[in-house]
Structure 1
Amino acid sequence: MMENIYCFCAILLVTFSHLGRCVPVQNGDNSFDYLLFDQHWPITECLHWKGLNDSNYCSLPKEPNAFNVHGLWPTKTGTTGPHSCSSQPKFDRKALDPILTRLKQRWMNVHGGTDDYSFWAHEWNKHGTCAKVLEPFNTEVKYFNSTLDLNSFYDIYGALTDYGITPGDQFYAIDDILTAIMRKFGKTPQIYCIFSGKQAQLHSVKLCFDKNINLIDCSSVGVKARNCEDRKTLRYLRKLPGGKW
């Protein structure tokens, strides 16, 4: 498995909060140490969105058995940035036409009534313009396509399923979620929760990469393994309470 990961990273190079207490990057400092890759569970993101306003509704992916991309974020250790590193090139929606089907499958906007392109423009303007100093992400379409490749290769749903962890109403130990990811990929991720009442819900799994697109332990760059307050268990929902989007 590890050999496959190394081969994937080599191919990617050729063809191609999160930290607890943070301080902002100083203006003009666009340097970063690693890439934080956030993949969220669409059901939980929908739950979060609906919780913000009673009128909010969701648009969920047609493929139910996959974590979707939230974003790939250049990050300096101990900070929340850099952000918005360049005003050029401006986001071009037509540049994404060749990969539009992939984007709508795995990087769609769950927030009903909001535009997919506004979401993608936000991710490019805030994060892609910083990641573009790396060859695999140095154009808009490469930033999105290479990130989608990471989503396909680092299949969180598959890793959890292989360990017997599947969506439903039951509770899972957070340590078991961590173990499943570590067994599959060999590095520590971050497990990120949101809360519904007092219950922790699995929201996203975040992976960390160095600037050569090698997967690294998130703990090595100060990203704690659990962002679920003091909870030891969480729920990994198959559907929303009431079953409506």
Structure 2
Amino acid sequence: MCVSLLPLLVSLSPALLFLPEVTEGHREDYKYGHRAAELHDTKQFCSWKCLLFTLQWPAGFCKSLNNETLCMIPQSVNGWTIHGLWPLRDECNCHCWPMFHSDVQELDAELTEHWPSLLKIKSSFHFWTDEWKKHGSCVACVEGLNSPLKYFQICLKLRRQFDIQKLLEDAGITPSCERTYKVAAVHDVLAPHLGDKHEVQCVTDDKDRQVWFQVKIPLSRNVTVGCGHHGDADGDPAAGSGPRSGSSPGHPCPPEVPLYYLPIDHQKPKLPCG
């Protein structure tokens, strides 16, 4: 016997039949973090103890790509750029907290300069939304990070705090096609500011050289330098993140092998030295 379910469906509350629409009013709630308690399961998202703040060198990033035509370094980019702020745990990939361009519109100029996409096939906003979905939504249980706006504000503040380009320049470490640097010398310059546990990462280029790619800075849950907890350190939260797809190609620069700190070339980003 067939029984129609239509009367039952009609009698149900519309809230049970449809997901709530995200209105402009709700966007303000998301923007300033009012929805954090509703959208986050503490056990699922907040088990991490440490963060990694990662800065990348555009010339090294371009060397990490297999396809030399993909890379693009905007004219406004002449320094280290943000790769991400990642809790040391698996990616969230949380669709529960949407991000809109209006959430970060007031930061647009700073983000475009300091957190650009370096891929022709991905816009900077697409890069930012990926980072929020994959990583930012994991840290939103922390009061100072509990919205897209706050997350990106903190990242820009950390970028200003860790002005590694100036630290290196003051120590005579500048980009060059010919000159190489010892990893230990780089560590000695950065350690007083980034902590002893920071990691200098390289990629191996097509000439089998170690090319400086990025720096990973461990932070505690309150976003201060250093983290003494080791239980969350399994795996690499960079895998699958950033403006590329697939795993991060970076690896710790071998201490016994000199590294190249290549210059930025906006016209030939993949081949800055010819």
TM-score bracket for this pair, using the shorter chain length: 0.7 to 0.9
For 1:159, the aligned partner's letter is: L
TM-score w.r.t. length of structure 1: 0.77
Per the alignment, in what secondary structure is the counterpart of residue 151 of structure 2? helix
Give, in whole Å, the separation in 1 of the partners of 2:216 and 2:49.
16
Aligned to 1:53: 67
Confirm or deny that 1:238 pairs with 2:248: no
Give the superposition deviation at 1:230.
Answer: 6.2
Q: Using the alignment, how far apart are the partners of 1:168 and 1:36 within structure 2?
A: 28
Helix, strand or coil for the counterpart of 2:104? helix
Aligned length: 210
CA distance in 1, matches of 2:107, 2:97: 19
Change (3 A) 1:238 1:55: closer
Aligned equivalent of 2:142, options 128, 134, 145: 134
Alpha-carbon distance between aligned partners in 1 of 2:227 and 2:46, rounded to the nearest angstrom:
23
The Cα of 1:238 is off from its aligned counterpart by 0.8
2:199 maps to: 190
Does residue 68 of structure 1 match 2:77?
Answer: no
Once the two structures are superposed, residues 4-46 of structure 1 have per-residue CA deviations (whole angstroms, 9 ceiling, x without a partner) of: xxxxxxxxxxxx9xxxxxxxxxx94651120001100011112
Please give the per-residue CA displacement for 1:110-166, whole angstroms capped at 9, x wherever unaligned. 112321111111100000000111112100011011111001111111121122111
Q: Structure 1, unaligned stretches of length 5 or more?
A: 1-15, 17-26, 76-80
Q: Mark the structure with the bigger radius of gyration.
A: 2
Alignment of 1:140-159 (within 5 A): 140-159=148-167
More strand by share: 1
Counterpart of 1:116 in structure 2 is 124
Q: In the aligned structure 1, how far is the partner of 2:211 from the partner of 2:184? A: 14
* SS in structure 2 at match of 1:120: helix
- Name the SS of the counterpart of 1:215 in structure 2: coil
> Does the Cα contact within 8 Å between 1:132 and 1:138 map onto a contact in 2?
yes
Structure 2 distance, partners of 1:241, 1:208, is: 29
Aligned match of 1:211 in 193, 217, 221?
221
Counterpart contact for 2:218–2:226, Cα < 8 Å: yes
CA contact (8 A) 1:189 1:217 kept: no
Identity within the alignment, %? 23
Corresponding position of 1:34: 50
Contact 1:187–1:217, Cα closer than 8 Å, also in 2: no
TM-score, length of structure 2 as denominator length:
0.69
> What is the distance in 2 between the residues matched to 1:59 and 1:119?
14
For 1:106, the equivalent position in structure 2 comes to: 114
Asked if the contact 1:190/1:207 (under 8 Å) is kept, the reply is: yes
Q: Which runs of 5+ in 2 are unaligned?
A: 1-32, 34-42, 235-250
1:122 is paired with a residue whose SS is helix
Report deviation, 1:193.
0.5
Q: Which residue number in structure 1 is paired with residue 180 of structure 2?
A: 171
> 3-state DSSP class of the match of 1:46?
helix
